Amino acid sequence: MLSATPARARRQSRPIWVRGATLVDPVAGEEGGAKADILVRDGQIAAIGPDATAFGVPDDAETFDASSLIAVPGLVNAHYHSHDALLKGAFDVMSLERWAVRALPRYFPPRSDRELRLRTLIGAAECLRGGITTVQDMLSLWPLTSRQAAIVRDTYRETGLRVVLGLQLADTGPLDTIPYLRDILPVELAGIVAGPPPPPDMPAPVAELERILAELPAGPDDRVTWAVCPSSPERCSHALLARLLEIARAHSVRLFSHVAISRVEAVGARALFEAHGGSPIRYLDSVGALGPDLTLAHGVWLDDDDACLLADSGTRLVMNPISNLKTRNGIAPYRRYAESGVRPGLGCDNCSCSDAQNMFQAMKFSVLLAGIAGRSDDGPGARDSLRAATADGAHALGLETTGRLSPGFKADLTFLDLKDPVYSPLNNATRQMVYGEAGRGVSAVMVDGRFVVRDRKLLTIDEDALADELTELMPAVLRDAGTVFERAARLDPYLSEAEARAWEVDVGMTRMACD
């Protein structure tokens, strides 16, 4: 079994003196050019200045020469799912509804402990190598058990990644959320869209969630923390949603959910939330869910009133431009959210519907898509998207002491190689990072004051051993996936018809570049 050095044993006991880095912090307005020294001590940024003699460096400090590096706040992948990390590249473009019945854990047999560990490791490795220091993993386990939840938690501890680990629950299936599908689907195919029956010994999911939060502390420090994730307003009954709100508040953990992803969902919302004007946001408000402790992912098909309600309530939002394009959902109104007072974070979403945990892609697309969706002569720009990938992403996760290059903040830092051709010549580090970087320039990554990547080498995961284990595991994964894909293909004609009918409905807004 692949092993890694426990995170506590790797923790830096010495202060680190980062010398001569080129700083980029979008909140401070620093777009690159100023060089400074950074003192890291006890997992935090202790001091920053143009010359360390101004604040003093302890005699026992380790020196890290950053004179040829850009230092940027560690990137925050504010919406991610590790459960399909082994399905990257499995799908070409398709609708969200057709993708879901092929990729979600509910349609697969229960997975082995070994597979859970390996997929968590491979996802974390990709994130860290890409300069991501923090993720919000909205994890689906089928079935949900405290044993497997603990495996994922313990694996994350080993990787050094900062994680808000959310456990996702739902009790309402596609027949009740996809408009028209129940009317047109043959009875004999209903079992396919519902998914296989649960194992006979499956624990009651809500009770198991409570057990996990009560009996499994997330970590000895605050680097891995739990969250509660009602899958979406549509996929949770009123009773389940109310219970999950109670549980999250009783255990003082954050709530994460999806909202208004696809146009089909927007049509379905008209009936499901008819009493609330067809708005999932007004429905969430009616049950007392909105507020600073709730973060919603996607928000593509929300109107201006919804945006204002999010802003007024302090509810947080994460946009996922790459997965929204690949699953044909449209373009989230970044500019409208910002103008309403919402500052969205950015995420990479599922490995099988975006295929890359790459925040540089997410930053670039978030800017360029805003130009397609509206006026092209104002924001957002490169600095806005970098802020969305750092400080605003941290804010979306309730991590208010990460995402900045500032004394007192967590020492989560990403270092990019100034010698890479992307930065030569260096005209504007922020713009060159957002529009030109693809992850190739990531040279070092620090989380919680310790290096997890250095000299382009991942220090916390044995990648060769991981590759060998995955080679052994993948034939079984692909066999199961093939069975799932074959079953799902029988649903395609009916899903396509339901989608076509939904597209005939006027929802009062458009989120496509051309309708």
Closest-CA residue to 87 (of 69, 70, 99, 75): 99
Let me know: does 348 contact 337? Beta carbons within 8 Å: no
CATH class of 75-396: alpha beta
Bridge partners of residue 164, in order along the sequence: 136, 225
**What is residue 6's predicted lDDT score, i.e. its pLDDT?**
42
pLDDT of 416: 98
Backbone angles phi and psi of 137, in degrees to 5: -95, 110
Residue among 270, 204, 293 nearest 240 (CA): 204
In this prediction, residue 7 carries a pLDDT of 43
User: Rounded mean pLDDT of the chain?
Assistant: 94
Find the helix or strand (DSSP H, E) in which 443 lies. strand 442-447
pLDDT (0 to 100) of residue 2: 54
470 neighbors 14 (Cβ within 8 angstroms): no
Please report the pLDDT score of residue 371 as a whole number: 80
pLDDT of residue 9: 36
In sequence order, the β-bridge partners of residue 190 are none
Task: Tell me the angle at which helices 463-489 and 113-129 cross, rounded to the nearest 10 degrees.
Answer: 110
The residues, any chain, with a CB within 8 Å of residue 59's CB and separated by 6 or more, are: none
Q: Find residue 316's DSSP bridge partners.
A: 295
Residue linked to tokens 């049950």: 287
Q: Can you give the residue ranges of every domain in the chain?
A: 7-73+406-458, 75-396
**Residue 64 near residue 424 (C-beta atoms within 8 A):** no
Residues in the chain: 515
Q: Are 337 and 305 in contact (CB under 8 A)?
A: no
In the predicted model, residues of the chain with pLDDT beneath 70 are 1-13, 30, 219, 373-378, 514-515
Residue 230 has what DSSP assignment? E
pLDDT for the residue numbered 375: 61
Q: Tens digits of per-residue pLDDT, 277-332? A: 999 999 999 999 999 999 999 999 999 999 999 999 999 999 999 999 999 999 99
pLDDT of amino acid 29: 78
pTM: 0.96
Note the pLDDT of residue 494: 98
Report how far residue 354's alpha carbon sits from residue 371's, in angstroms, rounded to the nearest whole number. 21
Closest CA to 412 of 135, 157, 44: 44
Give residue 98's pLDDT: 97
Query: CATH for 7-73+406-458, among 3.40.50.2000, 1.10.3720.10, 2.40.270.10, 2.30.40.10?
Result: 2.30.40.10
User: What residue ranges in 67-222 does DSSP mark as E strands?
Assistant: 69-73, 75-81, 132-139, 162-169
Pairing of strands 162-169, 413-417: unpaired
Cα(184)–Cα(494) distance, integer angstroms: 7
